[in-house]
Amino acid sequence: MKSDAVKTGMQQAPHRSLFNALGLTKEELEKPLVGIVCSHNEIVPGHMHLDKLAEAVKIGVAMAGGTPIMFPAIAVCDGIAMGHTGMKYSLVTRDLIADSTEAMALAHQFDALVMIPNCDKNVPGLLMAAARVNVPTVFVSGGPMLAGRVKGERRSLSSMFEAVGSYAAGTMSLEDVEEFENKACPTCGSCSGMYTANSMNCLTEAIGMGLQGNGTIPAVYSERIKLAKHAGMKVMELLEKNIRPRDIMTEKAFMNALTVDMALGCSTNTMLHLPAIAKEAGVNLNLDIANEVSARTPNLCHLAPAGYTYMEQLNEAGGIYAVMNELSKKNLLNLDIITATGKTVGENIKNVFNRDPEVIRPVENPYSETGGIAVLKGNLAPDSCVVKRSAVVPEMLEHSGPARVFDCEEDAIDAIKGGKIVAGDVVVIRYEGPKGGPGMREMLNPTSAIAGMGLGASVALITDGRFSGASRGASIGHVSPEAAVGGPIALIEEGDIIKININANTIDVDITDEEMATRRAKWQPREPKVTTGYLARYASMVSSANEGAVLKTNNN
């Protein structure tokens, strides 16, 4: 066993004395040591209950003959961090989580791991760590929040943010906003739409690192506790069979994940996280392939914010395995690859069927014949940018309008709420990319303000930052190269006509190459917004969004 390095032999007598200090018995030390990586904290609603899941996992591990030992991972609540300096610290925690988990797992020589994440950067950070450490690993997330109920209708966090915009527009009363505030987020769990957290938890299942129901069983269901016990038991089976993360997270598995991503209409943040996870697993996932996958993958789900169904309904309809079963009817998945269940994808989904064709459209009747995410390119974004096509109203799939240019998120929000943005405009928010932010802030506040002001069907927003999975509309993010390195988005001027064609995967500013060159010659880099601490170090090392915003080393 790997853990023999810290518990077996005379040289390890000092190590054993420290295990004695932990209260571990000789019998426990004779069993495999299983690290339980628990992201429990008391500030993130999606994580407040993870201590209970950790206890369930520990029971499962012990039942199957292992010795469970828990250690923590951090997590930021993107909703609480939204719209202020805190959002600069969201994406950057992905690497902190991966690094610290790698350090804990290898420093203590665990034989296997069970990861208990739930929210946006926490899930991909732990998947990155799992690929690095590469000991048998199973994921069990905290599960989604139940949808809220406001005036008899299901609602979620995106409704709450849009309510603020409606209040600014004078179309919603203070009393109505307070009702949303008190009812939109009724339970613990990751926010109830197909936002980034739920997107990544569902893709963890699709890629093969989580058990059935990992992405969809609601946080408050006792079934989630049973799932955690099964995860603890299953990791011992993987240890016995020596099935490791890099055996599971293969190129074929990432192609499955991209395909399910398109079918579900996941958050655009998956276009940052999947390449970063793949890199750690030794797989080169070039986003140029995303449109190829989208072109052949029907969009089967319209969960909030794209529609009015929620995670609990997806769970009742059969969950991710039911979606995958539908996709298999068009031979869109690799079915012969191994997963954390110890079985192949094909074996996992064989007898799981779609129980609600209103929530999961059959492949014969999709919302669209193409997937939920599109990667655009053009002279405004030569390397790429990303949009959640399934959350864009039809009239905005092609749009041309004048640029309204802002060098930070706050200035854009002031203009939107101040009534200075009108139908037809294209809001451009720049210097918010991985380096320029730094940290690539999410833009849920401005997109929600646009929707709440009634401009969602007539105004586009473009940024080198990124969007929450709760954003909807023609919200185009991850513009690469970013403004901070002199990308074309830095050269746009007020009033330039921007042409967007999501169906054709293009985005351009209507100026000549000569004019672009003239502006580039005059452009000067900005002074860094942050010069000390972790953010400054992150900004100095981070790559472009189209490369997954991974940290560069001397080897990459």
Tell me how far the alpha carbon of residue 503 is from its chain's centroid: 24
Residues 326 and 263: their CA atoms lie apart, in Å, by 10
Residue type at 180 in one-letter notation: F
The beta strands (E) that lie in 335-409 are given as 374-376, 384-387, 398-406
Neighbours of 184 (CB within 10 A): 23
Which has the closest alpha carbon to 31: 60, 61, 11?
61
Residues 390 and 122: their CA atoms lie apart, in Å, by 25
Concatenated DSSP letters of 246-261: HHHS-HHHHHHHHHHH
Burial profile 439-474: b = 16 or more Cβ within 10 angstroms, e = fewer: bbbbbbbbbbbbbbbebbebbbbbbbbbbbbbbbbb
Q: Classify 382 as helix, strand or coil.
A: coil
CA distances (Å), 129 to each of 4, 53, 98, 117, in order?
22, 20, 5, 12
* Tokens describing residue 132: 């690095």
Residues 37 and 127: their CA atoms lie apart, in Å, by 12
Quote helix, strand, coil % in the chain, to nearest 5.
45, 15, 45
Q: Active-site residue numbers?
A: 468
